[in-house]
Amino acid sequence: MHPNNLAEAYKVIGLMREESPEMLKTDVRPEDVVRSAYATLNVIQDEKTTVRLGMLRLKYGGKPWGDLSSAALSLRLSEKREVPTVILEDERHFNDITEVSTIRVSELRQVLE
C-alpha cells in the first residue's frame, strides 16, 4: 500500500464519522486505521515509487492522487513480475492509464482460487 492511499482512507473515514456515522459498523478513529495499516501491511514509499508517481502525475494530472499512487506502486512492484492495481468495481479512472494492468475486487477470488 502507498501512504497516499492511507491518507485517503483517513479522509473517507473522517467524513463518514461526521456525515454518515450509521454507515460504520463500529465507531473507528481514522488514526487507528492508519496505525493498524502500518503495523500489518507493507506500506511502501521510496525513491523509485516517488519517481513513478511523479511521471504518472505529469501525464494524468487530472486523476485522483490515490489512484495514481496505486498505479505507481504497481509499477514499482512490477519490476520482477507484473503486479496489477486492485480497483473497485465502478472505478473509471484507470480506463486510460496504459502503464499498469488492473484487477477488480470481484476478480480477486478467481485469482486466489
Tens digits of pLDDT across the chain (113 residues): 888 888 888 888 888 899 988 888 888 888 998 899 889 888 888 899 999 999 999 999 999 988 999 999 999 999 889 999 989 889 999 999 999 999 998 898 776 66
The continuous run of DSSP H or E covering 8 comes out as helix 3-19
pLDDT on residue 20? 87
DSSP 91-111: --TTTT--SS-EEEHHHHHHH
Q: Check residue 43 and give its pLDDT.
A: 83
Going from N- to C-terminal start, the domains of the chain cover 3-40, 47-112
- Identify the pLDDT of residue 12: 86
Residue 2 has φ and ψ, to the nearest 5°, of -95, 145
